[in-house]
Structure 1
Amino acid sequence: MASNRQNDRETRQARERLRAYQARQTVHETRAKRRVRDNWIAGGAVLIVVVLAVATQLLYFAQPGTPSASGSPSATPTPSVSATPTPSASASAQTYTLPPKTLAGNRNWTGTLSINGIPLGVELDGSTAPQAVSSTIALTQKGFYNGLNCHRLTTGGFYVLQCGDPKGDGTGGPGYAYGPIENAPKDNVYPAGTLAMARQSDNANSQGSQFFIVYKDTTIPSDSAGGYTVLGKVTTGLDELISKVTDKGVQGGGTDGKPAVTTTIDSFTLQ
């Protein structure tokens, strides 16, 4: 009898151990399944966040008027992949006639471009950019530039001060547009002091009265139309323009917009 009771007790203990093991195993399996489920939920959440972030970025960069993802310069009033100064052919209050390119006389022209009381000595090359120089000569002779504001300054990786728009917003011109592009640098490098004509993106025949002064060495990539017509150069006064105008930055602290210091052409003379 004692032997039977001992066997029964051992059997009950074995069953209890089995039940305890099975209970622990069930808890373990439940926890394991819960971890797998939680991992899937967490992974799904991360994926959703990533997808939403990518979609938001794509939507942002697809909006007209926002900077491109590359952050290089553009030929529109905002910096983008082709960014350089851009005028339209729209007329000013008074319209002018494009002079023949022979006006430049195939020679160098010297003069003074006075901005905010800063006399910039300039030299234009009528032999390498005859049409652009002829247009500029004709406009200066008629006092076109006197009193116009320089409406655009860029500081974010390319460095230009853009002037010559009678509307003051990048859309004005003398009432005519012309081409072709002349004397554009083959390596797309515009040294400090370069005077060059602004134009619309991908449009060689959209030059008018707007020009830009490169105040630090700048690389401006060509677009489908090519580079930008180099008129000539600033020979003196650039350091003062930098310290008194361009170093003051852009209104609102951006990298492309109106100069923080109101910038006006006092006069532009050539001879």
Structure 2
Amino acid sequence: MASTKRDARENRKRIAIMEAKRGLRERQARRRKRDNVAAAVAIVAVVVLAVILQLTVFSHNPTADQTATAEAGLDASASPSAATSATPSAGPSAGATATAPGTNTANIPPASTADGKTFTGELSLNGSPLGIQIDGTAAPQAAAVFKSLADESFFNGLTCHRLTNADTFGVLQCGSKTGDGSGDPSYQWGPVENSPADGKYPAGSIAVARGSSTYSNGTQFFIVYKDTVLPQTDGGYTIMGKVTSGLDVVQKIADAGITGGTTDGAPVTPVTIDSFTLQ
């Protein structure tokens, strides 16, 4: 009889131990499930954040694009917009608030002053000259603006604040009055002229940086030192001319690299515009 009672107690004890182990396993399984769900949520969050960052950084900034936006694209409202420079959307941007569609600010010279004319001259960077040509037939409004600015010595002493060196996005962006890629809201104009339909900007091209609208061109421009592709979905950028000699000067600046080792930012070698002349 005593043995039967002991056996019963032992059975109850074994059952209790089994129940306890089963409960522990169930709790561990639920915890693993929660951990797996949390990990999956974290992974999804990281992927979503990466996509958002990619779309944000590259949707407007060569302003690289292209971009951040400054007069280049090459956004002129922020920055050739990863960036504080002007840049094509996803390329050069110029950082200023865009004027109303289809309007120029009052101090913009009329396109008629340059229509049909070709201007040649020199752009000197850090004491090294580049021969340049501005085409008033293909881009009369841009030619009128930059001839006027050159005649006023506007660019003398300004800097080239942005450099890109991605595989298909190589530009040097210059002409920000503040030196940080910001555009001047009191000096904006349009339209975009002579923009390549295929988005291909050949090495040697000189193009105008702008902000978010086709009437947000300003004083910033970018020099394409290697064949570059920029988004054209919002109108692209005006190719106003070309470098006729000395493009290797820009290549040497590019070879020196970009601050922080990125592909879009301030050049390691500070670049000053000594002069910009057109005849």
**Given the two structures, how large is their TM-score scaled by the length of structure 1?**
0.77
Out of 242, 247, 254, which is 2:251 matched to? Answer: 242
The aligned residue for residue 126 of structure 1 is 136
Amino acid in structure 2 at the alignment position of 1:208:
G
CA 1:39–1:236 in 2, change beyond 3 Å: closer, same or farther?
farther
Pair 1:103 & 2:113 matched: yes
Q: State how far apart, in whole Å, the 2-side matches of 1:69 and 1:229 are.
A: 19
Superposed CA offset, 1:181-209 (max 9, x none): 100000011111111000002x0001111
**Is the CA contact (8 Å cut-off) linking 1:145 and 1:268 kept in structure 2?**
yes
Out of 183, 194, 208, which is 2:205 matched to? Answer: 194
Superposed CA offset, 1:125-150 (max 9, x none): 11010000110011101111111101
TM-superposed deviation, 1:100 = 1.2
Superposed CA offset, 1:39-66 (max 9, x none): 4432321221231343355457658x96
CA 1:121–1:36 in 2, change beyond 3 Å: closer, same or farther?
farther
TM-superposed deviation, 1:174 = 8.6
Instruction: State the secondary structure of the residue aligned to 2:277.
Output: strand
The aligned residue for residue 174 of structure 2 is 163
**Is the CA contact (8 Å cut-off) linking 1:96 and 1:174 kept in structure 2?**
no
The aligned residue for residue 70 of structure 2 is none
Q: State how far apart, in whole Å, the 2-side matches of 1:190 and 1:28 are.
A: 75
Q: State how far apart, in whole Å, the 1-side matches of 2:158 and 2:119 are.
A: 22
CA 1:101–1:69 in 2, change beyond 3 Å: closer, same or farther?
closer
CA 1:189–1:24 in 2, change beyond 3 Å: closer, same or farther?
farther
The aligned residue for residue 265 of structure 1 is 273
TM-superposed deviation, 1:109 = 1.7
Q: State how far apart, in whole Å, the 1-side matches of 2:113 and 2:58 are.
A: 40
Calculate the aligned-residue CA RMSD, in Å.
Answer: 3.5
Alignment of 1:1-271 (within 5 A): 37-56=27-46, 58=48, 67-68=57-58, 73-74=66-67, 75=75, 76-77=78-79, 79=82, 82-87=89-94, 88=96, 97-157=107-167, 158-173=169-184, 175-201=186-212, 203-224=213-234, 226-243=235-252, 245-271=253-279
**Is the CA contact (8 Å cut-off) linking 1:179 and 1:207 kept in structure 2?**
yes
Aligned length: 250
Q: State how far apart, in whole Å, the 2-side matches of 1:217 and 1:263 are.
A: 21
Instruction: State the secondary structure of the residue aligned to 2:222.
Output: strand
**Is the CA contact (8 Å cut-off) linking 2:66 and 2:92 kept in structure 1?**
no
Q: State how far apart, in whole Å, the 2-side matches of 1:41 and 1:68 are.
A: 40
Structure with max Cα Rg: 1
The runs of 5 or more residues in structure 2 that have no matched partner are: 68-74, 99-104
Instruction: State the secondary structure of the residue aligned to 1:168.
Output: coil
The aligned residue for residue 102 of structure 2 is none
TM-superposed deviation, 1:261 = 0.8
CA 1:219–1:27 in 2, change beyond 3 Å: closer, same or farther?
farther
Amino acid in structure 2 at the alignment position of 1:213:
I
Instruction: State the secondary structure of the residue aligned to 1:102.
Output: helix
TM-superposed deviation, 1:250 = 1.7
Q: State how far apart, in whole Å, the 2-side matches of 1:72 and 1:210 are.
A: 15
Of Structure 1 and Structure 2, the greater strand share is in 2
TM-superposed deviation, 1:106 = 0.5
The runs of 5 or more residues in structure 1 that have no matched partner are: 1-11
Q: State how far apart, in whole Å, the 1-side matches of 2:216 and 2:107 are.
A: 15
Q: State how far apart, in whole Å, the 2-side matches of 1:35 and 1:266 are.
A: 76
**Is the CA contact (8 Å cut-off) linking 1:89 and 1:207 kept in structure 2?**
no
